[in-house]
Structure 1
Amino acid sequence: MNDSFWFHARTSSCYSLNGQNMEGSALIFLLVLTTLCIQLSEQETVDADPVESTTMPVIQTTVPNDQTAMPTVQKENIIANAINDFGYKLLVKMMNEKKNSNIIVSPTGVAGLLAMTLLGSVGTTHNEIAETLGFSQDILQNRKNHEQFGGLLQALNANVSSKTLYADAMFVDAHAPLRELYRNYLYDVYRGEVLSANFNQTEETKNIINEWVTNHTEGKIEQFIKNPLPISTKVVLLSALYFSGQWEKPFLPEYTAKMSFKRPTDEVMADLMLNFGTFPYIFSEKHDLHIIALPYNDTETTMYALKPRFPKKMTLLDLMLKIDYEQIDNIINEMIPRKCVVRFPKMDIKSSTSLENALKAIGVKTMFIPGEANFALMINSNTVVNKTEENIITRITNGEDESKGERNVLDNLPNPGIYVDSVLHDVKLTINEYGTEAVAATSAILARSAEQFYADSPFYVFIRNERTKLVTFSAVIFDPTN
């Protein structure tokens, strides 16, 4: 029987918030669900004691008890920028793989999943994931990075008029040899709750997991897992990321019109919404692009849209290959309020894709290879207690010094024989206008002094939480009608 380490990300959209009808509102809904199903091969399976009987030291971390407490600004920006850079590279690789196709991803959601796997990995698997996320290859330093990232994720849950929710959990078979240190650290850093499951009872376990999903997705996904999991499954990790919000400045519903959207090879008629007023905007001659910020009414979440200034001279892919997220962040910092006329497509888009190839292309390779992937800090396949190994793991997890010799011990821990089998990402995006009446004279639409940002050809768009600087959602749109 082949081992498998299956992780699945799913994103969906909705039209209601807290039971209230949001029809006609400017609503973005983002939901990322991630599951990791871990199986042990027959030759690796051990008759271990129940996970509850494992006794190891409880980890103390520096994560504040207040989930909304923020790390220092400097450290916050370093981690957030690393995660955002990871998401940008992932998106560009996916653009190369799926030419001229709509692609929607959650950099923060995927990074949260990889961070959870990084906690349990050693050796080359650890180094590749760490480098890809922008973390350190030093396990001790990564404990601090995990704490910073965990703090940022929890800070997303501080909701005002919009709503952002992040949650994660681990379902563990009662006899899975899960390392208690991993369990404790997962909770301390990412608030991941560990729940018991009997994977021999496949239908019951499927229902329990689906209930968790429903409870953490505002009830919008009821049957996330449709088929029972294999009885050889030992651990399931899940994370959910949810966002919905309304524009600070509503689009004008009465001016939404069918207009031409220029796809790479032809044109299609799309519903383009209209807005005008003062928005953060910049035209960068250096990078030959322009970018506009469309704030939400919570004062801390913003959608940014950028595109080539002259699409006939440079494609969106060419532009995004030429720049990186750091340069985009620098351009954002130079934006100034300008009078703008905005045309933006009204969209209801689904995107379904596999992430394995894109992750491999940006450096995460070993975790997909049976026999080479090593998650020995998550699963302990050694039934003989090794006090030296336990002491080293405890010291490093508690933030004590890591020596080269101790790292070698970790890298040589018995490999539990699990690997990542597939990475699926399903997303649905809904963007529309809200408001019941226009609040400005139509003559303002034709103001000659106004900048024009018409998203009527392929563009890149992302949502950023300004408190944490995390990009929760990003997309490239080649056809808003598809």
Structure 2
Amino acid sequence: MGVLKVAGVSYLLLAAILLVCAQNGNNQSSEDDPRFDARVSELLAKNMLQLSQEIGTTILQDSDRPTEVFSPLSIYTALSILLMGANGQTFQELMGLLKINSDSYLSQNTWKVHEELSLMIDDLNGTIPHPGHRRRYQALWRNQNALHENRNQNQESLQQISVANGIFFQNGYSIRDDFRDAMQSAYQAHLQRLDFANKPDLSTKYINSWVNEKTQGKIKKILTNELPQSTKAIIASALYFKALWERTFYEAGTKPREFYPDGINRPPIMVDMMAIGGSYPFYDSKEYDCRIIALPYRKHLTTMYIIIPNKSTRHRLRQFQATLTADKIQEMISKMEWKTAIILFPKLHITNRIDLKMVLKRMGLRSLFSYDQSDLSLISTGVETPLSQNHFPGTLNNVDDRQFLFPRFDDVESRNATASTRNATHEAAKNNTNDAAKRERRSAVTYKATSSDTNAQREPLRLKDLVISKRITKSYPYIKLRSRLRRDIPTDPSLNLKRLDLLRTRLSSERYPNPGLFADELIHQIDLTVNEVGTEGGAATITTLNRSGPDILFRAETPFLFLIRHEDTKIPIFYGTVFEPTNF
């Protein structure tokens, strides 16, 4: 979740959540989607994973915590929203951080990044991806899963992944129409006016309640301190994920076992280790000196990949991660095959709050955190208008004192009309309810012969001039505005995104005032739970080993790296390193 403010103190926050359980999803149309580009989709997924690697490596340079886990999806989405509103140096730094400037097409058509990412998030939010998006390459092991799939599964016991985005900004502080329209087109963002200046306590309460609601109560308080009165805008991205294992761990198999943070030959710690046996995708990577195994969730929609370097220790895992890349991970996954295995894996309950400001600055994103250098001029002009007196209360569960809130901008006409059109339409609507105004409009009809030549001698009007030439002008602005609104509704679903790119091009060639938006902090928070069944009270399906015994014994008893990935889109949902498991 992100917070941006003008002058004074500002924050950038990201919220992400994992709770393992199950829900059903939505069916989608079988029609092909002309917006979908398989190449761009694969590239964005790869870029997201590469960013995960670099963030993880940078964090571990100074961290000595037992776990470092974060959500690449949540971070990448929030940074993409910032990219949408950035210009100048800030835009170029974000392009480099998100690995977009390495592709010539995307470098010239940034709108496509947001369009494709929104399609990927739609597929991730739904249980069944759009049929027209199935041209993405799938891992070989997933195509071999017919004999290994649990036959007792049904649509009601799959998974739930939801990504919610929101912008909360100071009432009276201008947000560009082009940015707002593009945000809603790509990310279906919740837009809400708050009064940070006069009621920072209630504004803070609203943001925390929004995050709490979107994360199903797992992150109750993302803002630990009251927002400063100088806050101008908050950009938020919240993630909620829950899924059941394809095969549950043996409940009776969980017991305290040794875990060796510093290697097999050093003293261990005792942790609760789960046990399971069956067929699982596995690859012994001789070329990278590690082993990788997959623990699929129901229907193989998402998967937890566990990677352990040989002779793993804290130091060895840090070295290994520094050499790992997205291409190497994808290569190992592509070589996985089903093997019978006995798996020992620790129970996990990880709550993590990471300050990513210094991490991203080390990775090249510097101007965003500087008042003098940050350029988010596509979000706002920086102009403040008087506070509206005719506001309406906002709505959110469990929030009181909402009289300071202002309505969301989520109707179709508001998204696609210009500011002047909306203002004029509003005035016309007010006049339409006033009898005196109606009579005034009826009496305001004038007749004149129009001409492009102002010096031309005008002839007397004739009947055919009025009927055929239509030289009638009326003070009915709302008639033209209504038809203009219909014309402004975009037939191209990406029109709003393209308009924002054009605005960036225009601003880059002109002298324009910088609104002064900058981020002072970037905080990422997660809550991750991994247990035997994936959620409380889930049904268990017991699997048995072949009589010939397992092909492999996979013991996650030394430091390891894990990745939870959505298989259809290859989006990395969670990524992290575990040096010492954190039990319940």
State the Cα distance separating 1:380 from its structure 2 match.
0.3
Matched residue, 1:32: none
What is the distance in 2 between the residues matched to 1:93 and 1:66? 43
What is the distance in 2 between the residues matched to 1:465 and 1:13? 13
Matched residue, 2:389: none
Which range is displaced more, 342-351 or 259-268?
Answer: 259-268
Is the counterpart of residue 146 in structure 1 residue 111 in structure 2?
no
Which of 177, 186, 190 is 1:189 aligned to?
186
1:184 aligned partner, one-letter code: D
The CA deviation string for residues 354-385 of structure 1, in whole angstroms up to 9 with x for no partner, is: 1112212222111112201111111203689x
Matched residue, 1:3: 8
Counterpart of 1:351 in 2: which secondary structure? strand
State the Cα distance separating 1:339 from its structure 2 match.
1.1
What is the distance in 1 between the residues matched to 2:120 and 2:81? 14
Matched residue, 2:134: none
Is the counterpart of residue 409 in structure 1 residue 509 in structure 2?
yes
What is the distance in 2 between the residues matched to 1:419 and 1:266? 47
Is the counterpart of residue 135 in structure 1 residue 100 in structure 2?
yes
State the Cα distance separating 1:321 from its structure 2 match.
1.5
Question: How many correspondences in the alignment?
Answer: 426
Check whether the contact 2:248–2:542 (CA below 8 A) recurs between aligned residues.
Answer: no
Matched residue, 2:412: none
Q: 5 Å matches for 1:288-307?
A: 288-307=289-308
Is the counterpart of residue 96 in structure 1 residue 94 in structure 2?
no
Indicate how the Cα distance of structure 1 residues 15 and 314 shifts in structure 2: closer, same or farther if over 3 A, else same.
closer
Which range is displaced more, 109-118 or 303-312?
Answer: 303-312
2:79 aligned partner, one-letter code: L
Which of 519, 522, 542 is 1:420 aligned to?
519
Indicate how the Cα distance of structure 1 residues 415 and 251 shifts in structure 2: closer, same or farther if over 3 A, else same.
same
Q: TM-score, normalised by structure 2?
A: 0.67
Could you say which structure has the larger radius of gyration? 2
2:184 aligned partner, one-letter code: Y
What is the distance in 2 between the residues matched to 1:130 and 1:78? 14
Is the counterpart of residue 439 in structure 1 residue 542 in structure 2?
yes
What is the distance in 2 between the residues matched to 1:247 and 1:15? 8
State the Cα distance separating 1:259 from its structure 2 match.
1.3
Matched residue, 1:248: 246
Indicate how the Cα distance of structure 1 residues 457 and 218 shifts in structure 2: closer, same or farther if over 3 A, else same.
same
Q: 5 Å matches for 1:189-268?
A: 189-199=186-196, 200-264=198-262, 266-268=267-269
What is the distance in 1 between the residues matched to 2:163 and 2:190? 13
State the Cα distance separating 1:438 from its structure 2 match.
7.5
Q: TM-score, normalised by structure 1?
A: 0.80
Indicate how the Cα distance of structure 1 residues 372 and 440 shifts in structure 2: closer, same or farther if over 3 A, else same.
closer
Matched residue, 1:87: 52
Counterpart of 1:230 in 2: which secondary structure? coil
What is the distance in 1 between the residues matched to 2:74 and 2:540? 36
Indicate how the Cα distance of structure 1 residues 441 and 219 shifts in structure 2: closer, same or farther if over 3 A, else same.
closer
The CA deviation string for residues 225-274 of structure 1, in whole angstroms up to 9 with x for no partner, is: 35432222121221111101110011111111211111126420111111
What is the distance in 2 between the residues matched to 1:99 and 1:204? 37
Indicate how the Cα distance of structure 1 residues 357 and 224 shifts in structure 2: closer, same or farther if over 3 A, else same.
closer
State the Cα distance separating 1:398 from its structure 2 match.
2.7
Counterpart of 1:165 in 2: which secondary structure? strand
Indicate how the Cα distance of structure 1 residues 322 and 274 shifts in structure 2: closer, same or farther if over 3 A, else same.
same
Counterpart of 1:218 in 2: which secondary structure? coil
1:167 aligned partner, one-letter code: A
The CA deviation string for residues 276-312 of structure 1, in whole angstroms up to 9 with x for no partner, is: 1111100010100110011001321111000112326
Check whether the contact 2:559–2:580 (CA below 8 A) recurs between aligned residues.
Answer: yes
Check whether the contact 2:100–2:107 (CA below 8 A) recurs between aligned residues.
Answer: no
1:375 aligned partner, one-letter code: L
The CA deviation string for residues 48-103 of structure 1, in whole angstroms up to 9 with x for no partner, is: xxxxxxxxxxxxxxxx9999968332221111111111112111111122146310
What is the distance in 1 between the residues matched to 2:515 and 2:552? 59
State the Cα distance separating 1:188 from its structure 2 match.
0.5
What is the distance in 2 between the residues matched to 1:320 and 1:401? 36
Matched residue, 2:272: 271
State the Cα distance separating 1:222 from its structure 2 match.
4.2
The CA deviation string for residues 20-40 of structure 1, in whole angstroms up to 9 with x for no partner, is: xxxxxxxxxxxxxxxxxxxxx
Query: Percentage identity across aligned positions?
Result: 24
Check whether the contact 1:211–1:222 (CA below 8 A) recurs between aligned residues.
Answer: yes
Check whether the contact 1:125–1:366 (CA below 8 A) recurs between aligned residues.
Answer: yes
What is the distance in 2 between the residues matched to 1:287 and 1:194? 47
Matched residue, 2:79: 114
Indicate how the Cα distance of structure 1 residues 440 and 466 shifts in structure 2: closer, same or farther if over 3 A, else same.
closer
- Which runs of no fewer than 5 residues in structure 2 stay unpaired? 1-5, 128-154, 386-493
Structure number with higher strand proportion: 1
Counterpart of 1:253 in 2: which secondary structure? strand
Counterpart of 2:162 in 1: which secondary structure? strand
The CA deviation string for residues 406-442 of structure 1, in whole angstroms up to 9 with x for no partner, is: 47326x5321122111112222221110277783557
Indicate how the Cα distance of structure 1 residues 283 and 132 shifts in structure 2: closer, same or farther if over 3 A, else same.
same
State the Cα distance separating 1:349 from its structure 2 match.
2.2
Check whether the contact 1:253–1:436 (CA below 8 A) recurs between aligned residues.
Answer: no
Indicate how the Cα distance of structure 1 residues 258 and 395 shifts in structure 2: closer, same or farther if over 3 A, else same.
closer
Matched residue, 1:45: none
Counterpart of 1:298 in 2: which secondary structure? helix
What is the distance in 2 between the residues matched to 1:404 and 1:193? 23
Matched residue, 1:380: 381
State the Cα distance separating 1:193 from its structure 2 match.
2.2
Check whether the contact 1:80–1:149 (CA below 8 A) recurs between aligned residues.
Answer: no
Matched residue, 1:165: 162
Counterpart of 1:255 in 2: which secondary structure? strand
State the Cα distance separating 1:223 from its structure 2 match.
4.1
Indicate how the Cα distance of structure 1 residues 65 and 278 shifts in structure 2: closer, same or farther if over 3 A, else same.
closer
Check whether the contact 1:90–1:358 (CA below 8 A) recurs between aligned residues.
Answer: yes
Counterpart of 1:171 in 2: which secondary structure? strand
